[in-house]
């Protein structure tokens, strides 16, 4: 097992189609109007007509030494050394949101009861030898799974 699981996202190929965001939501059956584990957004700059738009798709990066975990007083966030996945213990999370400013990527989102929700790299799919749902659904291959090629 490598140290980190990750995706690569190529902004040059991203067309802000929201597919990856919805792929995640529907596969995980996340109720609409609540939280998102993956989020598509853009950074726009300049003034008409010299405008730039750059597109991003962000989810938890499963940092090797997660700053969010360091900031979490109740110790609800842990990185599983076996599979490299950063997981949340819902029973321990007290909804203090200290993880949010600690995360360099603004990833943390909070679900029912104010509990932190994190991408788990589609552990169910990995277990079946498939790749995560979000990257598997991207129509332009801007978002690619760079983790172990299980099921390939």
Partner 1 sequence: MSPNQPNGGAAAEKIVPTFCHGCGSYRPTCAVLCHVRDGRFVRVEGAPAAFNAGVRGNTALCAKGLTGPQFVYAADRLQHPMKRVGAKGEGKFQRITWDEALDTIAEKLLESKEKYGPESYAVLSPEFWPVLGSLGRRFLNVHGSPNYLHSAICATPRMAAARVTTGYISMAPDDWMKTRLIVNWGGNVENSGVNQGAPRAMLNALANGAAMVDIRPMLDPMGAKADVWLPVRPGTDCALALAFLNVIIEERLYDAAFVAEWCHGFDKLAEHVAARTPEWAAPITGLPAERIRETARLMGTTRPMFVRMGNGIGDQAGDGTATVSAVCLISAITGNLDVPGGQFAGGGFGGSAPVSWLDEMLPAGMVERLVAPEAPVWYQTPDRWESGPTSAYYKALMSILTEKPYPIRVLNASCSNPLSATRNPRRVAEALTKLDFMFAMDIFKSPHLDYADIVLPACTSYEQGDYFGVRPTPDGLRVAPYNQVVEPLGEARSDWRFYLDLAVRCGYGEHFWQGDMDAFMGEMLAKHGVTVADLRENPGGMFVRPPAPAGAPAAAPGPSQPEYRKYAKLFKDLPHGKVQCYNEYIGGRPDCTGTGVLPYLPEYQGPPEGLAETPALAADYPLILSDVHAYRLAQHSYHHDVAYLRELQPYPWLRMNPATAARYGIADGDWVRVESPHGWSRFVAEYFPGISPEVLMTKRGWWQSCAELGLPGYGTGDGGSEVNNLYNSDERHFDTFFSQMPKQTLVRIAKWEEA
**C-beta neighbour count of 80 within 10 angstroms:** 13
**Measured distance CA(149)–CA(152) in Å, rounded:** 5
Q: Indicate the residue among 23 and 68 with the shorter CB distance to partner 1.
A: 23
Determine the size of the site formed for ligand SF4 (CB under 6 A): 42
- Alpha-carbon distances, residue 33 vs 36, 60, 95, 112 (angstroms): 9, 20, 19, 12
Q: Tell whether residue 2 is a contact of partner 1 (CB under 8 A).
A: no
Exactly one of 57, 85, 88, 109 binds ligand SF4 (CB under 6 A); that residue is: 57
Q: Tell whether residue 62 is a contact of partner 1 (CB under 8 A).
A: no
Exactly one of 76, 87, 119, 147 binds ligand SF4 (CB under 6 A); that residue is: 119
**Measured distance CA(72)–CA(115) in Å, rounded:** 12
Minimal distance, residue 125 CB to partner 1, in Å: 8
Q: Tell whether residue 123 is a contact of partner 1 (CB under 8 A).
A: yes
């Amino acid at each position: 097992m490598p140290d980190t699981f990750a995706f690569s996202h190529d902004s040059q190929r991203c067309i802000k189609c929201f597919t990856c965001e919805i792929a995640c939501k529907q596969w995980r059956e996340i109720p609409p109007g609540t939280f998102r584990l993956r989020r598509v957004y853009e950074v726009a700059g300049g003034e008409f007509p010299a405008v730039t738009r750059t597109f991003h798709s962000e989810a938890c990066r499963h940092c090797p030494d997660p700053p969010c975990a360091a900031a979490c007083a109740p110790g609800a966030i842990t990185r599983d050394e076996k599979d490299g996945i950063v997981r949340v213990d819902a029973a321990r999370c007290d909804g203090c949101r200290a993880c949010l400013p600690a995360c360099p990527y603004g990833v943390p989102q909070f679900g029912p009861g104010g509990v932190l929700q994190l991408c788990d790299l589609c552990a169910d799919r990995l277990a079946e030898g498939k790749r995560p749902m979000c990257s598997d659904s991207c129509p332009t291959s801007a978002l690619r799974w760079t983790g172990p090629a299980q099921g390939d």
